[in-house]
Structure 1
């Protein structure tokens, strides 16, 4: 049976690569005991801000067996989204992950193909696919399955690839061969991400105060933006890449090869004037399938006005 586990594991990783995933690691589906205190403290400190959904499903976040009956394996995957070209310097900026089509849909489609492959290869397998939209501690599982380490900005880092990649998971009720956890922290004494964050959202011990993050303000917060952060967004109107842009490991980032992540032809050329004059029709055209739709047209206009005025 052990040989079967090894064979299945090899075939799954091979198929993941064929589908475009850069990394694939597998961990035993078990209770994340080492994450309990961190999650409790993070919520207690209110670092989730108005994201009340983070308080839900506490137990499920820590135990994948509560998400999939009889879960045995967590397959963690990474998918590169680093663009070949970025926006102009002197313009309002959106996070690179939102340049193209919404990654939730693109990766979910690939995960469905992967789970179909698993079922065809192994037989009757029950499982679920997750892409940043369910109570799964994806970075903890990625580290546990050997994909990389968590940097000071809390993002998963890989030595030869940096951090411009999405994470996704398949939780299945089949035993596989498990990878060793990634235990080495290669950030060392570097504090570039901490020093560069204009809202001081990056705290010691690889923790983010989500309620201070520019991404939180420009996407998650639906209320009026607080005056306390006026002048601190550095032209970011949807998400923020500052802590990634300054990270030395991201010098190894290479352009992705996923056509669906390419930006709309009008996006990269947009000037500040274009953004300030954006209409709902232009918004719908440029961001038709983009994650930018999460903030809606009115939310984007709110963010632009907040920076401009």
Structure 2
């Protein structure tokens, strides 16, 4: 079996497993991304996300993560929901409606790697899902799966941006797919819509100003200056994606594990404000929402409802 047939096999299996698309790029140092990442960190746009300062070299070179790596296989998995929360209530980012994507995608990647080894032979590799120092959007763009939008999310003309990105880094030599062109044009919808002005310039997001950062990553008190800027978001934020014209082509996912708990779709503002830990566990049993914990979610709700920035004790 030659290199092209290997690539075709991997892409066909990825499709069978439910991935939206699959692209391949040659493993190596990301020369263009290196100065951008260094500048972004130097300007403190990571906020309290100190982990982003670690493993700088590994973030830019996958051969340091997988010795002998030759190819990066990038995959997209759709999470756009068939139904959304009602307007006028507190909002959770669409990606967190169902089960934690780390679990769902890792299962699929393990199966994909198993098939690769069964069909091709001894292949060394590792699976990555937003939990290791890998610049997933950069690799997906290199693999031709989309282009980096001005909101810094990967965009495709066919399905917009509501999908997860994952990688297999392999020591298997595969033919690389080329990148696609940028189709944002003169549009600035995402920049104009961001209520905290986190998109400081096209393609650059100040993570320390993002609503997702405030509601998930920030463990200390929420800055008083952020009051009145969040709309109704209590976990994550979809504003820059919701206003993107390319997301009019988003189609509902077909992954049962991403389906929301029925109660989530019925919760009004009063339900959220009176949320108990028991209901929290019931509605979000395996959800990414658990990252902020019950206390963090209550902090966010209270900050929107009465302006208090403090979190309750766990």
Deviation at 1:178? Answer: 1.0
> Which structure 1 residue ranges, 4+ long, deviate > 6 Å from structure 2?
none
Residues 151 and 202 of structure 2 are in contact (CA less than 8 Å); yes or no, is this contact kept in structure 1? no
1:61 match: 59
- Quote how far apart the aligned CAs of 1:205 are: 3.7
Q: Which residue of 1 aligns with 2:178?
A: 180
Could you tell me which residue of structure 1 aligns to residue 278 of structure 2?
281
- The corresponding residue for 2:85 is 87
Which residue is 1:298 aligned to? 295
In structure 2, how many angstroms separate the alpha carbons of the residues matched to 1:82 and 1:299? 25
TM-score (norm 1): 0.98
Gaps of 5+ in 1: none
Give the Å deviation of 1:181.
1.8
Task: Tell me the distance in 2 between the aligned counterparts of 1:160 and 1:37.
Answer: 31
Gaps of 5+ in 2: 307-314
- Tell me the residue number matched to 2:4: 6
Distance (Å, rounded) in 2 between the aligned partners of 1:231 and 1:120: 55
Aligned to 2:199: 202
Query: What's the counterpart of residue 304 of structure 2?
Result: 307
1:235 aligns with 2:269: no
**1:217 aligns to 2:214 (yes or no):** yes
What pairs up with 1:1-309 in 2 under 5 angstroms? Answer: 4-182=2-180, 184-309=181-306
**Quick one: distance in 1 between partners of 2:117 and 2:158?**
32
**Deviation digits for residues 115-160 of structure 1, max 9, x if unmatched?**
0011111111000000011000001000100000000000000001
Of stretches 97-106 and 199-208 in structure 1, the one that deviates more from structure 2 is: 199-208
**Cα distance in 2 for residues equivalent to 1:285 and 1:145:** 39
Aligned residues between the structures: 306
TM-score relative to the length of structure 2: 0.97
Aligned-partner SS, 1:171? strand
CA distance in 2 between counterparts of 1:190 and 1:239 reads 23
2-structure distance, mates of 1:32, 1:7: 27
Q: 2: distance between equivalents of 1:93 and 1:113?
A: 34
2:134 is paired with a residue of what secondary structure? coil
